[in-house]
A and B are shown apart, each in its own frame.
Chain A
Amino acid sequence: MTPSTIYLCDRPADPRWELGSAAASTRRVLLIGWSRSVQLTEAGVPPIVSRVISQGLVSAGHVAFLSNPTGAHATAACEYQSLAGDSWPMRLGQWLHVTPRSAGWVITRDALTAVTLFDCDAFDWRLKAQVALLVRSPMVLRDLGWRVVRDLLGDAWTDAATNLAAVGVEAVLRPGVDGDVAALWTASPATEVTLRDAMAQAAVQFGAVLEECSEARLFDLMCPRAES
């Protein structure tokens, strides 16, 4: 057992993962967890795990995640699509600073840019405030505003994701409890297979191990353990 073992678990049902409707849903959701060594003192996704996931995503299509224009993501390897308030409560929230005024989608096919989705200060993965989409075309994101973001980060997120499949969203990645797990919804079995294969290849590339496991076993595997 190494600290960089990544576990894939089909259809998580336990509410302790804090994945809302994914728990009760029969939709296509994959839970991604990782072993934690006792030396792992930092919150969030370990670097190797985040690289494997982001590499897997970008190899399957365009990845979009939340950020702001002043973030460190304005590189040549990405586009930025502003996120407009799409209803008067959202616009009021922006005016009152309850909802960020300057926010948008960073769109990229570059793994090094995509990996920053796990460490964005404006939309912190560890605070369950980040969501990433795999889209066929960046044009899809023009119509996705704050309401979609809130829905995708809410309890009924798999329903929201299913509704987005019709406009070209192929997968949704969002954090579970404390950002210690990731939930990956896919629109079709083909996309799921593609992403699994891509992550398996990335795991080999970065020296990690990808394993299937049951949900019950994942609870044990995520407990801190000494590195062997």
Chain B
Amino acid sequence: MAIPEQSMEQGLASGGIPFAVGLSSIVRIPIPGTQGLAIELTPRGWVPRSGSTSVLFFQDLSGKRHLRLDFGYNVASKTIDFHWNQSRTHATFGIADHAPAGSSGKAAYQVAKYFRVGGRVFALGGAAIDIASVVQASQPLRRATVVAAAWAAAWLGCKATGAGGAAAGSLLSPLGAAAGGFAGCIVGGAAGYYGASALAGRVYAWADGTHFSPLARAPKP
């Protein structure tokens, strides 16, 4: 009697959930129909420690076209508030530079601020768990193949589903696009991760022609 393939993975920890959650803080999540804008938690260029306090960016690859959520002194309202700064995206989002972001902007800013760091910790933690599982596996090459396929598919799933979520959310507002994009990215990333894990394990076993020996039945104590 052969051991089911899935049982080969049993006992090995999987970093799928933290990796998929954390991936959304790293990946550029495209927003369809915006001529190359994508959702990110960091700017494209370098920023010094005392530089901008913006945490949520809708920007193109160069960063020259961007809408960003910021907190600080607003020269337009003459107060310290949560506001938008934008460059060359007014036609896309209809938001002027220094437009107040309101209470929803405040909530989004807080979430983005902590998720920017926390998400990376999650992604690194998930990756570390997966790497440890490769080391612990009885067939490290097989496990490494599964993990690599899972990571690649999670990345693709995050981008594709995140883009769908961002497109749906952008019908409401930029914050809707961000919420849809991140939610879609997490769901797509997890689906990609686990889907590719299962598929890669089967493909590896098929390609390798692995034979499984039945376990000896142990008498009940």
The answer to whether A and B come from one shared complex is yes
Query: Is the beta-carbon distance between B75 and A128 smaller than 8 angstroms?
Result: no
Query: Is the beta-carbon distance between B43 and A124 smaller than 8 angstroms?
Result: yes
Within the assembled complex, what's the spacing in Å between the Cα atoms of A224 and B62? 28
Query: Is the beta-carbon distance between B72 and A223 smaller than 8 angstroms?
Result: no
CB within 8 Å of A: which B38-58 residues: 43-52, 54
Chain A facing B: main interface SS? loop
Within the assembled complex, what's the spacing in Å between the Cα atoms of A129 and B50? 9
Query: Is the beta-carbon distance between A36 and B43 smaller than 8 angstroms?
Result: no
Within the assembled complex, what's the spacing in Å between the Cα atoms of A153 and B52? 11
CB within 8 Å of B: which A147-167 residues: 149-150, 153-155
Q: Which residues of B contact A124 (CB under 8 A)?
A: 43, 45, 47, 52, 63
A-B contact count (CB 8 A): 96
CB within 8 Å of A: which B96-127 residues: 96-98
Within the assembled complex, what's the spacing in Å between the Cα atoms of A120 and B39? 21
Q: Which residues of A contact B98 (CB under 8 A)?
A: 43, 178, 224
A contact residues, total (Cβ < 8 Å): 37
Query: Is the beta-carbon distance between A127 and B54 smaller than 8 angstroms?
Result: yes
Closest to A17 in B: B73
Q: Which residues of B contact A228 (CB under 8 A)?
A: none
Query: Is the beta-carbon distance between B76 and A223 smaller than 8 angstroms?
Result: yes
Q: Chain B, interface size: which category?
A: 20 to 34
Query: Is the beta-carbon distance between A223 and B52 smaller than 8 angstroms?
Result: no
Q: Determine, out of B84-92, B183-191, B204-212, the stretch whose residues face the partner at the interface.
A: B84-92
Q: Tell me whether A154 and B47 are in contact in the complex, defined as CB-CB below 8 angstroms, given that A42-B86, A42-B90 are known contacts.
A: no
Query: Is the beta-carbon distance between A224 and B76 smaller than 8 angstroms?
Result: yes
Within the assembled complex, what's the spacing in Å between the Cα atoms of A16 and B85? 17
Query: Is the beta-carbon distance between A219 and B48 smaller than 8 angstroms?
Result: no
Query: Is the beta-carbon distance between B90 and A41 smaller than 8 angstroms?
Result: yes
Q: Which residues of B contact A103 (CB under 8 A)?
A: 46
Q: Report B197 CB to chain A, min CB distance, Å.
A: 29
State the 7 A-B residue pairs at the shortest beta-carbon distance, nearest first: A127-B52, A41-B96, A128-B51, A153-B48, A16-B73, A121-B62, A43-B97
21 contacts across the A-B interface (CB closer than 8 A): A17-B73, A20-B50, A40-B97, A41-B90, A121-B44, A121-B45, A121-B63, A122-B45, A122-B46, A128-B47, A128-B48, A128-B50, A128-B52, A129-B46, A129-B48, A150-B49, A153-B48, A153-B51, A177-B73, A180-B75, A220-B78
A interface with B by C-beta (< 8 Å): 16-18, 20, 36, 40-44, 99-100, 103, 119-124, 126-129, 149-150, 153-155, 177-178, 180-181, 219-220, 222-224
